[in-house]
Amino acid sequence: MNKLSVKYEPVIGLEVHAQTLTRSKIFCGCATEFGAPPNSQVCPICLGMPGVLPVLNRQVVALGIRMGIATHCTIAPYARFARKNYFYPDLPKGYQVSMFELPLAEHGYVEIASESAPEGEKKVRLTRIHMEEDAGKNLHDGADDASHVDLNRAGVPLLEIVSEPDLCSADEAVAYLKALRALLIYAGASDADMEKGNFRCDVNVSIRPVGESTLGTRSEVKNVNSFRYVQKAIDYECMRQEAILREGGTVLQETRLWDEKRGLTVSMRSKEEAHDYRYFPEPDLVPLKIDAAWIEKIRAELPEMPAEKKKRFMESYQIPAYDATILTSTAGLADFFETTVAAYANAKIVSNWIMGDLLRELNQEGKDIEDAAIRPEQLAAMLKMIEAGTISGKIAKTVFEVLYREGGNPEQIVKEKGLAQMSDESALVKLIDEVLASNPAELAGYRSGKKKLLGFFVGQVMKQSGGKANPGKVNALLIEKLG
């Protein structure tokens, strides 16, 4: 086959690390609060002192099970921690307590919207979810030109969520990460705050000729911490690997890093230099026997998950799948929608305002719905005013701006700012007469057959009224007047 005519497709598998929503660490009572002064949240256990013994935080297991259920995994009846041995200055014990051959949960899936999949939905399979402790952090940016180690993060609980290599584009990878992040938040397992590093991801990428079923050799880009970087790192890796294959070379299995400044990935270590972690069962912790009754109790406590919510929204509010996906992207947004619809029943109109004006404002400022001043009842009251003809759709945009920033009663805002729609005929006729009198050329043009000028007159009247004239009435009165 001619090498140049071969088309390649990406194959992507992701490993996500999510910090659990627990106030204390996984094997000791130290706090997990973000941003504390270096080494202020440490004790002999997380410092790795000799002779200390870890005690497992039960809540971490409960949150891991929650996430396992939310992703349709089988929860292991019997799981075990393992030591992963390696040396690094931020790892005082010389090993990380993780899980290896007996993880907490296995064989789940996450549903994503994908254009390439039939019916626009795709199930991305999960290999496993396991619990582990985070390492500390090396600091190289001090004024003293020295390196320091902050161990506040050592022993912070993580869920590692490993996907099968089921993703076939950067877009799908990002859709998967967003869906997984939403599940973590819905399940209350993690706040998945990317800025704090509570949700980060290792990106495994390979490419193969379209139609080929065996996988190509992967590279692994470590610790990518934003959706945009994931997208860029995947695109870059595909390009780099394709250039190698087209020249007849072989892709090396290696660990790489995303360099945002230069917009490329750089090699960290190759497979030959890879660690042999010498995993073995953690002797200081007993294996976990997970009670079926406990699993069922947790299952019963789980709130409605986004996929179910989406289905319910489509059925009971008769809104399109696209709307339902966006409206259920966070529990807060979904609640806002439902509360608004309870007060103003046209769900599609509510959805349009939330997806359009409200989300645009929120996204622009990088805010969540919880941070906005507007309340669902206020949006509903404004929509009723549009329906009653008290304000035009255009004026509503102005009212919405005020509500978004300050909240308040839309009727009062309209009154105070004099925004009510002008429907009074005598006032409108007066405006129309003024407009016709001051545009004699256009008036003559209209009379000689240029009927398109009607739009010009409507526009002028609207302008004169400061956008408040009722456009339907203006139109009708103008036609009457112009014969």
- Measured from the CB atom, is 24 or 390 closer to Zn ion? 24
CA dihedral sign, ordered 230, 235, 239, 245: positive
Which residue from 55, 139, 215, 243 is in contact with ligand ADP, where contact means CB under 6 A?
Answer: 215
Q: Give dist(CA 234, CA 275) in Å, integer.
A: 24
How far, in whole angstroms, is CA 286 from its chain's centroid? 37
218 binds ligand ADP (CB under 6 A): yes
Q: 191, exposed or middle or buried, with CB in 10 Å at 0-12, 13-18, 19+?
A: middle
- Measured from the CB atom, is 15 or 377 closer to Mg ion? 15
Question: For 358, which DSSP code?
Answer: I
Range 299-338, binding ligand ADP (CB under 6 A): none
- Beta carbon of residue 163, minimum distance to ligand ADP (angstroms, whole number): 5
Under the rule (CB under 5 A), what is the footprint of Zn ion? 28, 30, 43, 45-46
- Measured from the CB atom, is 49 or 345 closer to Zn ion? 49
Range 238-257, binding ligand ADP (CB under 6 A): none
- Beta carbon of residue 158, minimum distance to ligand ADP (angstroms, whole number): 14
220 binds ligand ADP (CB under 6 A): yes
- Measured from the CB atom, is 15 or 164 closer to Mg ion? 15
Residue 206 contact among Zn ion, Mg ion, ligand ADP, none, beta carbon within 5 to 8 Å by kind: ligand ADP
Q: Give dist(CA 279, CA 302) in Å, integer.
A: 34
Which residue from 24, 96, 163, 351 is in contact with ligand ADP, where contact means CB under 6 A?
Answer: 163
Residue 46 contact among ligand ADP, Zn ion, Mg ion, none, beta carbon within 5 to 8 Å by kind: Zn ion
One-letter amino acid at 115 equals E
Contacts (Cβ under 8 Å, ≥6 apart) of 314: 320, 321, 324
- Beta carbon of residue 39, minimum distance to Zn ion (angstroms, whole number): 11
- Measured from the CB atom, is 230 or 381 closer to ligand ADP? 230
- Beta carbon of residue 223, minimum distance to Mg ion (angstroms, whole number): 11
- Measured from the CB atom, is 28 or 73 closer to Zn ion? 28
Q: Which DSSP string do the residues of 275-320 spell out, in sequence order?
A: -----EE-TTSPPEE--HHHHHHHHHHPPPPHHHHHHHHHHHH---
Among 18, 20, 26, 285, smallest CA distance to 154 is for 26
- The rounded radius of gyration (Å) of the Cα atoms in the chain is 30
Q: Are strands 148-150 and 137-139 parallel, antiparallel or unpaired?
A: antiparallel
- Beta carbon of residue 265, minimum distance to ligand ADP (angstroms, whole number): 14
Which residue from 98, 206, 390, 392 is in contact with ligand ADP, where contact means CB under 6 A?
Answer: 206
Number of residues counted as binding Mg ion (CB under 5 A): 1
- Beta carbon of residue 129, minimum distance to ligand ADP (angstroms, whole number): 12
- Beta carbon of residue 46, minimum distance to ligand ADP (angstroms, whole number): 24
Binding mask 1-30 toward ligand ADP (x if CB under 6 A, else -) reads ----------xxxxx---------------
Among 281, 32, 59, smallest CA distance to 154 is for 32
- Measured from the CB atom, is 43 or 359 closer to Zn ion? 43
- Segment contacting Mg ion by CB under 5 A, of 14-22, 131-139, 191-199, 267-275: 14-22
Please give the biggest Cα pair distance in the chain. Answer: 101
Residue 307 contact among Mg ion, ligand ADP, Zn ion, none, beta carbon within 5 to 8 Å by kind: none
Helix axes 58-70, 292-301, angle to 10 degrees: 70
- Beta carbon of residue 198, minimum distance to Zn ion (angstroms, whole number): 19
Residue 11 contact among ligand ADP, Mg ion, Zn ion, none, beta carbon within 5 to 8 Å by kind: ligand ADP
Give SS3 for 402.
helix
Q: Are strands 254-259 and 219-224 parallel, antiparallel or unpaired?
A: parallel
CA distances from 270 to 10, 230, 257, 265 (A): 20, 21, 12, 14
Q: Give dist(CA 306, CA 186) in Å, integer.
A: 8
Residue 162 contact among ligand ADP, Zn ion, Mg ion, none, beta carbon within 5 to 8 Å by kind: ligand ADP
- Enter the tokens of residue 377: 């009842």
- Beta carbon of residue 27, minimum distance to Zn ion (angstroms, whole number): 8
- Measured from the CB atom, is 11 or 469 closer to ligand ADP? 11
For the chain, helix (H) and strand (E) counts, in that order, are 16, 16
Residue 43 contact among Mg ion, Zn ion, ligand ADP, none, beta carbon within 5 to 8 Å by kind: Zn ion
Q: Are strands 288-289 and 78-79 parallel, antiparallel or unpaired?
A: antiparallel
Looking from the CA of 44 toward its CB, the CA atoms found within 13 Å total 7
Q: 239, exposed or middle or buried, with CB in 10 Å at 0-12, 13-18, 19+?
A: exposed
Among 72, 1, 142, smallest CA distance to 302 is for 72
Given strand 95-99, what is the order of strands in its sheet? 95-99, 81-85, 280-281
Residue 343 contact among Mg ion, ligand ADP, Zn ion, none, beta carbon within 5 to 8 Å by kind: none
- Segment contacting Mg ion by CB under 5 A, of 11-19, 143-151, 429-437, 475-483: 11-19
Residue 255 contact among Mg ion, Zn ion, ligand ADP, none, beta carbon within 5 to 8 Å by kind: none
Residues forming the site for ligand ADP (CB under 6 A): 11-15, 162-165, 204-206, 215-216, 218, 220
Residues forming the site for Mg ion (CB under 5 A): 15
